[in-house]
Structure formats: C-alpha cells, structure tokens
C-alpha cells in the first residue's frame, strides 16, 4: 500500500509595506520653490499621494489623460485595464500650475504628449524619478526607507485608517484581487498598535 505524503510548503510571509507617517508625507510635499523643476516635482509627488498610482502609471500619463475640471485622471493600468481615479484639490492645483508654468519651459523643441518631463524635455524615466525622490527625502530629513511604491502604500493605508471602504480602495489602486488590498488593513492595524503604545497613558 502506497502512502501519499502531502508536503505543505509554508506560505511565503508577505512583508508589510513601508508606510510614511502623516508628518513625513507633509514634509515630502512641502515645496515652496517656484522654478519649473520644483513645480514638476511637487506635481508628481502630490499626484502619487493623491491617487496611489504605480510609478509606471504616473510616468505614462499623457496630457489628455487629465480631466482637471472634473477632478480625475484616467489610468491605463496592468493588462491594459482602464480606471478613473479622483484627484484631490492639492494634486489638481499643483498639476494645473505645472502644466501652465513649468511644462512649457521643460518641453523645449521636443514633441511629446507625456505629462511629466525631465530637464531635457523628454519623458521622465523611472530611474530619473527615483533619483529625485531620494534627494528630496534626504533634504527633508525623512529617515524612513523609501521604495518607488512608498507613496502608493501610504495612500492606501492612510485611506483605510480614516475609514475608507476596502472595495473602493481596491478600485482606486487597480488591484485585480481584493486580497492584495487587504495587506493594507494589516498595515493600519500595526500602525494603530504603535499609536496606542505611544499615546495611551496605560499602554
């Protein structure tokens, strides 16, 4: 008689994404420079935090994906799936300012409909964006470990912490599967525990 042994492989622990605190987000988005690169950087970061886009989605935005009057942006996400994501007032304002005052200066003689451009007037690359983000974080004294997805993670868990509906957040993030979005409920629980430890007199 043959024994069939079923070996269960341990589920790979999903590491919880790093999330910025509200103060760190504020520090990251605190721009007072007015040259075209400052306006562009502010618009990129505000948009990321306001929409939770993936970096590739942010950088593939075209000017006519913006619907600023209605206050949303159209994304073509993974697998060519389209979604509509609301823009907050801050992101809307900083995109308007960038499109009006900075993008015309950056574009030079180039012919591109990419929304975000580098200093040579070409579409911003992942590497370029990543370098900018690290410099800004260092300047602002943000010690948290950043990844290209940190603002996306922060967007999701801040929404859930403030009571947003899981399905709505799934839709905004463009997750095919709600279990992916559920990671963020764990993040906010861990954060709640930290907050409790830090602030409750009898913790």
Active site residue 126: no
Whether 140 sits among the annotated catalytic residues: the reply is: no
Respond yes or no: is residue 78 known to be catalytic. yes
CA distance 11 to 13: 6
Active-site annotation holder among 42, 92, 152, 158:
152
Catalytic residue among 40, 42, 49, 54: 54
**Catalytic status, residue 7:** no
Sole residue written with tokens 């403030």: 162
3 part of the active site? no
**Closest by CA position to 28, among listed 56, 55, 54, 50:** 50
101, 149, 186, 189: which is the annotated catalytic residue?
149
Which is nearest to 120 in space by CA: 131, 106, 101, 104?
A: 106
Select which of 78, 81, 126, 167 is catalytic: 78
**HSE (side-chain half, CA atoms, 13 Å) at 144:** 23
Contact 61, 73 (CB under 8 A): yes
152 catalytic? Reply is: yes
Closest CA to 137 of 64, 50, 66, 41: 41
Active-site residue identified among 42, 92, 158, 184: 184
Give residue 124's Cα distance to chain centre: 16
Q: What is the dihedral of CA 97, 101, 102, 105, to 10 degrees?
A: 170
Instruction: Point out the residues that are catalytic.
Output: 54, 78, 149, 152, 175, 184
């Amino acid at each position: 008689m043959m024994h069939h042994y079923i070996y269960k492989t341990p589920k790979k622990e999903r590491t919880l994404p790093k999330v910025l605190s509200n103060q760190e987000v504020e520090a990251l988005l605190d721009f007072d420079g007015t040259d075209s690169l400052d306006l562009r950087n502010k618009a990129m970061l505000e948009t990321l935090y306001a929409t939770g886009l993936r970096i590739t989605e942010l950088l593939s935005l075209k000017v006519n994906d913006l619907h600023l009057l209605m206050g949303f942006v159209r994304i073509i996400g993974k697998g060519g799936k389209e979604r509509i994501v609301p823009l907050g007032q801050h992101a809307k304002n900083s995109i308007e300012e960038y499109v009006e005052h900075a993008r015309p200066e950056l574009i030079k003689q180039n012919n591109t409909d990419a929304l975000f451009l580098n200093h040579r007037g070409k579409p911003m690359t992942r590497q370029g964006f990543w370098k900018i983000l690290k410099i800004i974080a260092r300047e602002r004294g943000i010690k948290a470990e950043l990844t290209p997805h940190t603002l996306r993670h922060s967007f999701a868990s801040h929404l859930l912490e403030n009571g947003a509906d899981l399905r709505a957040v799934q839709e905004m993030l463009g997750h095919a599967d709600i279990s992916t979005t559920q990671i963020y409920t764990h993040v906010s629980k861990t954060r709640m525990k930290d907050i409790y430890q830090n602030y409750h007199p009898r913790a």
